[in-house]
Structure 1
Amino acid sequence: MAYEPPTHTVERSIRAITGAKIVAGVDEVGRGAWAGPVTVCAAITGLRRPPAGLTDSKLLSPKRRTELAALLEDWVTCHALGHASPREIDELGMTASLRLAAVRALEGLPVRPDAVILDGKHDYLGRPWQVRTVIKGDRSCVAVAAASVIAKVRRDAMMAELQGEFAPFGFAANAGYPSPVHKAALAEWGPTPHHRLSWSYLDALPQWRHLKRVRVVVAGDELEDGGQLGFDF
């Protein structure tokens, strides 16, 4: 299926309205996983023509994603990644962890953006950053699409590195998301040090339920429970 290529329309609008000269695209991956970090990429692309085939990472095959990420890491003006660990997710909740990872990514850039295009409808970043949220921004905005692909490939690689130590969980294939192999390994072996222990999947595992970490849900933290989120394989 062919998709409309992303454009610089939103970035041009931000530049024209606010006078921003440096605009970063930001996207995340790992929000709906049961194991591993949530990862955010911030990418600055300028207004150059992107590599052919750039789109939302979820619309690309693993092979094409990997090939495109290698091109993008050289093509973008600059990019940086930020992560929030499973322990931080348990302690802070997902919304605050997304912000933590995004700030780490943005502060890892060699230049500070004047404005940020954030994928989705929720501004989890907030002040002092000047944020424009764009639903399906990872499909329509060049910088966000680039961040989407880089974040997905880099996080998948991080999870694949755990395969040798935790082979039954299939992290190389499922990247920490709840696949049948992952669920079966959890039932037999229990959570690894890379699992999020405050999430509802443990409620269905009576033999491991005692490991669940209970935290106070912050009002408005609509991303709190992984059992209610869409999964972004």
Structure 2
Amino acid sequence: MPYEPPTHTVERSIRATTGAKIIAGVDEVGRGAWAGPVTVCAAITGLRRPPVGLTDSKLLSQKRREELAVQLEKWVTAHSLGHASPEEIDELGMTAALRLAATRALDALPVRPDAVILDGKHDYLGDPWRVRTVIKGDQSCVAVAAASVLAKVRRDAMMAELQGEFLDFAFADNAGYPSPVHQAALRELGPTPYHRLSWAYLDALPAWRHLKKIRLSPEAAELESGGQLGFEF
């Protein structure tokens, strides 16, 4: 399906209205997975022409994502990644875990951005960052699209590394998301040390629901889309 390539329109608008010179695009991957970290990439691209075919990572094949990631690592002005572990997600809730991972990514950049473009409509980052949220920013904004691809490829590689240790879960194929193979392995074997134990999927697993953790943070009542019931076991 054809798509419009991302542009620097938002970056130019932020520069014109705020005077910001260094702008980072930020995107996350792994929010809806049942296992593995949530990963955030912060990318600074300037206003240069991006590699051909750059768009939201979800619109690209695995092969094309990996090819683009190699190009982007050399093309971007700077980028960095931050992660929040399953344990941190269980303890903090997803919103705070996203903030933690994003802060780690931004703090790891060699320069501090004057402004941040955040994919989506919710600002999970907050002060002290100057944030512009953009719905479908991973399709429309060059820096966010670059962050989307780099985050996805890196997290997929991290999950694939677990394949040898947990072959039955097929993490190399599903990246921790609830595929049929993943769900079947959960029923038989229970969660691995890399699973999020505060999420509602455990309520549908009588043999393992005693492992469920109750969040103690202020965001304990938050409902994350990937953590709700509604998957068939």
Q: Which residue of 1 aligns with 2:27?
A: 27
Q: Aligned pair count?
A: 229
Q: Unaligned 5+ residue runs, structure 2? A: none
Runs of 4 or more consecutive aligned structure 1 residues displaced over 4 Å after TM superposition = 219-223
Tell me if 1:193 matches 2:193: yes
Quote the Cα distance in structure 2 between the aligned partners of 1:104 and 1:227. 24
Question: Which secondary structure state, in structure 2, belongs to the residue aligned with residue 112 of structure 1?
Answer: coil
Question: Structure 1 residues 5 and 95 mapped into 2: Cα distance closer, same or farther (>3 Å)?
Answer: same
Q: State the TM-score, normalized to the length of structure 1.
A: 0.95
Q: Which residue of 2 aligns with 1:66?
A: 66
Tell me if 1:179 matches 2:179: yes
1:32-111 alignment runs, 5 A limit: 32-111=32-111
8 Å contact kept, 2:199–2:228? no
Q: Deviations over 1:141-179 (max 9, x none)?
A: 000000000000000000000000000000000000000
Question: Structure 1 residues 219 and 108 mapped into 2: Cα distance closer, same or farther (>3 Å)?
Answer: closer
Using the TM superposition, give the Cα deviation of residue 227 of structure 1 relative to its aligned residue in structure 2, in angstroms.
Answer: 2.9
Q: Which amino acid aligns with 1:31?
A: R
Question: Which secondary structure state, in structure 2, belongs to the residue aligned with residue 128 of structure 1?
Answer: coil
Q: Which residue of 1 aligns with 2:155?
A: 155
8 Å contact kept, 2:93–2:222? no
Quote the Cα distance in structure 2 between the aligned partners of 1:113 and 1:144. 14
Q: Which amino acid aligns with 1:197?
A: L
Q: Which residue of 1 aligns with 2:9?
A: 9
8 Å contact kept, 2:92–2:217? no
RMSD: 1.4
Question: Structure 1 residues 192 and 154 mapped into 2: Cα distance closer, same or farther (>3 Å)?
Answer: same
Using the TM superposition, give the Cα deviation of residue 224 of structure 1 relative to its aligned residue in structure 2, in angstroms.
Answer: 3.6
Q: State the TM-score, normalized to the length of structure 2.
A: 0.95
Q: Which residue of 1 aligns with 2:138?
A: 138
Q: Which amino acid aligns with 1:204?
A: A
Question: Structure 1 residues 223 and 16 mapped into 2: Cα distance closer, same or farther (>3 Å)?
Answer: farther
